Structure 1
Amino acid sequence: MTDVLDELHWRGLVAQTTDEAALRDALSEGPIAYYCGFDPTAPSLHHGHLVQLILLRHLQRAGHRAVALVGGATGMIGDPRQSGERVLNTKETVADWSERLKAQISRFLDFEGDNPAVLVNNLDWIAGMSAIDFLRDVGKHYRLGTMLAKDTVARRLSSDEGISFTEFSYQILQGIDFLELYRRHGVTLQTGGNDQWGNLLSGVELVRRTEGEAVHVMTTPLITKADGTKFGKTEGGAVWLAPDLMSPYAFYQYWLNASDSDVVPWLKIFTFRSREEIAELEREVAERPFARVAQKTLAADVTTLVHGAAATEAVVAASQALFGRGELATLDAETLGAATAELPRADVAVGTPVLDALVDSGLVASRAAGRRAVADGGAYVNNAKVESEDAVLRAEDLLHGRYAVLRRGKKTLAVAVAD
């Protein structure tokens, strides 16, 4: 327990704390109860939430008591954005997304054994609160000057669209959560992203005013890339943790594509590798960057953490099979479809000439170029060399009745798809 804060600092998981000396003392004297909240404003958690889940897990592994909160109430309001009001989702949608988030969170924490985590929903205590109770028991402890000074609120107030009372009140609801969890579970630490600093302090102040107790807040830094571009942005949007929004294959590829300058910091943040293991991987980056050992380790560890070992094995097999180092026919349809989703595409049918598929997919510029590729032994269908320029796609070439992987040379890929 005494080393966990130093470990979190080393991993780059600490941005700010309310009183680090007091927090360090509390952690060393622990165990303490701590929590983080996750609002169901989308059907899945994403890479930003992953940082918080990993932080929760580190603290639980150090012996502290984890409480994970799903914001069934706060998710119906939404944390104020930098610009523009949120579109309010229906109660039914928020309830459905809350269940999805519960399932995702459950993968990261231990809910059994001697130190089980607790999963709660703030709808349980906020839904039954009357407007009178809200104003008398909670609202009287908040000062408008402090609330108006919050960065996001101040920015929205000075904008053309302003801010509604609904979103303005979000910080009070988050404060209620800290107070309620303090009373129910003895929670004395809340964690969150550094952009949530103002909202997190709301709970600290409410507990101080109502209970006369000092509690703590710790934030994680916003993760950035070394080149200055935003971490977590992909062509499809965020790096989602739900497999129906981002396939395990695409998820694995995101981490595999980490730059040499990013991979070591990300290993510290997103994996549970030891200092010695990460130091060895750092040496691999310096001495054998072409082998990409660190990137492969990062991708495998994070994919296993989020999707499980079986999913990681499937995506690694798919990656190898695409380039002729495994059997494409052994891949299930979902994995094969995900593995080829970003490749250039040609629409085909049984009997389509292979040369036409090569041209239509962009693997070659013309049929003449396709003939040369075949003659040189550099054209492949499902890793089998095309022996004749008159070859056509047969029914058995369409894996799962739909896909045929085309390759020119060793590394240039496309996919033929029969719809």
Structure 2
Amino acid sequence: MASAATAMSSASRTLLLFSPFKTSLSFRKIPKLPSSINTACFCCCSYSTQLQSQFQTSRRRDVVEILQQRGLLESITSSTIHDAVSSGPVKVYCGFDPTAESLHLGNLLGLIVLSWFQRCGHHAVALIGGATARIGDPSGKSLERPELDIDTLRKNSDGIRDTIYKILLSNSENFSILNNYDWWKEVRLLDFLRNVGRYARVGTMMAKESVKKRLESEQGMSYTEFTYQLLQGYDFLRLFEKEGVSVQIGGNDQWGNITAGTELIRKILQVEGAFGLTFPLLLKSDGTKFGKSEEGAVWLSPSMLSPYKFYQYFFSVPDADVVRFLKILTFLELEEIGELEREMGRPGYVPNSVQRRLAEEVTRFVHGEEGLSEAVKATQALRPGAEAKLDWQTIEGIAEDVPSCSLAYNEVLNLSLVDLSVSAGLLESKSAARRLLKQGGLYLNNSRVDGENKRIEAEDIVDGKVILLSAGKKNKLCCDEGTEIQLCCKEGTDISDPFSRHPINQSSSFHHHHPPQSSSIRVLL
């Protein structure tokens, strides 16, 4: 009998280490589902030793209070979460369904909140919804999501995992990446309905806001979507018991799904200590959603959106939003953000200086120092009048970020700058080109051209490959010797000027493609 008591006491200490409940624990386990699960997990620390030590040596900051001060807190399921995160390290998770090849700006807040938990000594868990993405979360959606095949989901999951790994690892080693497909593939329907489904009340499920909105719409809601909240709830239950995760975070549209999990934990395990926390959606001051450019989603993967364009996107943030976004999207101290805000109202303030700081901080968080360096270098290279030395690699690196056309190399060499500006579509007419030349608004390789008779010479081609031509501070042209030369220009806005706040829309820009020739020039517009 004594040995049994000792064993139970030991088990209690072990479980309390992973889930620091405030009430005595019931040892009623979650109904057993098949346990032959080979979980693909990226884990970068030993939670029970290293994280405890780190928490003791780090500043004891209430991460929930920090989130509230910065405008990153919408709702919590219980006020006792403050005590939980202040008394010791916890595990917190956020889910990401792989419905696209990359995460987008709308997912960024989840990563930022996870990173705040990391920085305060807690362990972050990113859960990729390889299983739940096959169902589709109805939250915030007016139509059912299209079904994705398993190969697409696997490819998307790999891409999202790599992005999360890069971002979270650069800020702390206290994180894990899991995929819920690793346990859902073993779950049998009848076992799930009998052992989990019987604890879910239909009335409660119907009362969820995401369900009510869809039921009131013409399209209605399928049973498949209706069960999504129960699937996400089981994820929390499983992570709570098996991984010691006690906090789930998500956008405010996830409140119903999160509380489904806390309810299952309370009913099935008969314990307290599971918490939910939501953050607000990212909106601009005019109430519209922040996170899409006129070209579409702002992706976090550099393969889908270059660090240069990502960096430029944050230059478009209006003054009315930039301070709030510094609080939400960066880790700068509030005192420093306050000083930046005061700087905006002082005489001599350089427009977009604070936007530049925002762009630097967010780009560094998402793309690292290397990505930030690439973005800044490209920005400087494409700014007319800049003294930065041009090189072929820098200009070629942003070639896909601007429209382009190709011209034969022998057509460009010795061609007058006036004729080239027109034939490439940079300017509408020769008279417009001459007028701009007289006004000092035509630049060749970022140097102002004064004379009308300027012709393109071999030495104008940087590294023997590239020419950069700018009309005022708006249009860009690049030439590339070798197989082709590129000309780039932009109508109406300056995507290269760090002090321009215009959006990076290129949908109206001139875009030609001539057949490549053995010795041709590619022109980026």
Aligned residue number for residue 247 of structure 2: 189
Q: Which amino acid aligns with 1:370?
A: A
Q: 1:275 to 1:28 in 2, by over 3 A?
A: same
Q: Which amino acid aligns with 2:391?
A: A
Aligned residue number for residue 319 of structure 1: 379
Q: 1:91 to 1:281 in 2, by over 3 A?
A: same
Q: 1:299 to 1:139 in 2, by over 3 A?
A: same
Q: Offset of 1:382 from its aligned partner?
A: 1.8
Partner of 2:218, secondary structure, is: coil
Q: Offset of 1:211 from its aligned partner?
A: 0.6
**In 2, distance between residues paired with 1:72 and 1:128?**
13
Partner of 1:308, secondary structure, is: helix
Q: 1:395 to 1:236 in 2, by over 3 A?
A: farther
8 Å contact 2:247–2:277 — kept in the other structure?
yes
**In 1, distance between residues paired with 2:365 and 2:399?**
22
Q: Offset of 1:286 from its aligned partner?
A: 2.0
Aligned residue number for residue 118 of structure 1: 176
Encode CA deviations 1:393-419: one digit per residue, 9 max, x unaligned. Answer: 45665668876432234x232322544
Partner of 1:44, secondary structure, is: coil
Encode CA deviations 1:209-238: one digit per residue, 9 max, x unaligned. Answer: 101122110000011111333211202211
- 191, 198, 207: which one aligns with 1:149: 207
**In 1, distance between residues paired with 2:464 and 2:152?**
36
Q: For structure 1, which segment, 124-133 or 157-166, has the greater mean C-alpha deviation from structure 2 after superposition?
A: 157-166
Aligned residue number for residue 178 of structure 1: 236
Encode CA deviations 1:87-136: one digit per residue, 9 max, x unaligned. Answer: 111111111111111111112334998x7322111111111001111111
Q: 1:316 to 1:110 in 2, by over 3 A?
A: closer
Q: Offset of 1:157 from its aligned partner?
A: 2.1
Q: For structure 1, which segment, 388-397 or 137-146, has the greater mean C-alpha deviation from structure 2 after superposition?
A: 388-397
Partner of 1:163, secondary structure, is: coil
Partner of 2:476, secondary structure, is: strand
8 Å contact 1:111–1:118 — kept in the other structure?
no
- 377, 390, 399: which one aligns with 1:337: 399
Matched, 1:286 2:348: no
- 212, 224, 237: which one aligns with 2:283: 224
Q: Offset of 1:139 from its aligned partner?
A: 0.9
Matched, 1:33 2:91: yes
**In 2, distance between residues paired with 1:57 and 1:112?**
7
Matched, 1:413 2:413: no
Aligned residue number for residue 188 of structure 2: 130
Q: Which amino acid aligns with 1:31?
A: P
- 236, 239, 245: which one aligns with 2:304: 245
Q: 1:111 to 1:206 in 2, by over 3 A?
A: farther
Q: 1:313 to 1:298 in 2, by over 3 A?
A: same
Partner of 1:133, secondary structure, is: helix
Structure 1 residue runs of 4 or more that deviate by more than 6 Å after TM superposition: none
Aligned residue number for residue 78 of structure 2: 19
**In 1, distance between residues paired with 2:344 and 2:406?**
40
Aligned residue number for residue 199 of structure 1: 257
Q: Offset of 1:372 from its aligned partner?
A: 3.4
- 424, 440, 446: which one aligns with 1:383: 446
**In 2, distance between residues paired with 1:402 and 1:111?**
36
8 Å contact 1:371–1:389 — kept in the other structure?
yes
8 Å contact 1:349–1:393 — kept in the other structure?
no
Q: Offset of 1:374 from its aligned partner?
A: 3.1
TM-score w.r.t. structure 1 length?
0.91
8 Å contact 2:381–2:394 — kept in the other structure?
no
Q: Which amino acid aligns with 1:336?
A: I
**In 1, distance between residues paired with 2:438 and 2:121?**
65
Q: 1:413 to 1:135 in 2, by over 3 A?
A: same
Q: For structure 1, which segment, 101-110 or 46-55, has the greater mean C-alpha deviation from structure 2 after superposition?
A: 101-110
Q: Offset of 1:347 from its aligned partner?
A: 5.2
Q: Which amino acid aligns with 2:256?
A: G
| Greater radius of gyration (CA) | 2
The share of aligned pairs that are identical, in percent, is 44
Q: Which amino acid aligns with 1:88?
A: E
Q: 1:193 to 1:289 in 2, by over 3 A?
A: farther
**In 1, distance between residues paired with 2:228 and 2:74?**
23
Q: Offset of 1:283 from its aligned partner?
A: 1.6
Higher helix share: 1
Matched, 1:306 2:366: yes
- 113, 117, 134: which one aligns with 1:59: 117
- 249, 265, 271: which one aligns with 1:213: 271
Q: Offset of 1:16 from its aligned partner?
A: 0.5
Q: 1:384 to 1:83 in 2, by over 3 A?
A: same
Encode CA deviations 1:271-312: one digit per residue, 9 max, x unaligned. Answer: 111122212211222225434222111101111111111221
**In 2, distance between residues paired with 1:334 and 1:126?**
45
Q: For structure 1, which segment, 327-336 or 232-241, has the greater mean C-alpha deviation from structure 2 after superposition?
A: 327-336
**Equivalences, count:** 413
Q: Which amino acid aligns with 1:355?
A: V
Matched, 1:370 2:433: yes
Gaps of 5+ in 1: none
Matched, 1:72 2:107: no
**In 2, distance between residues paired with 1:318 and 1:202?**
47
Partner of 1:312, secondary structure, is: helix
Q: 1:408 to 1:109 in 2, by over 3 A?
A: closer
**In 2, distance between residues paired with 1:34 and 1:230?**
26
Gaps of 5+ in 2: 1-59, 478-486, 489-520
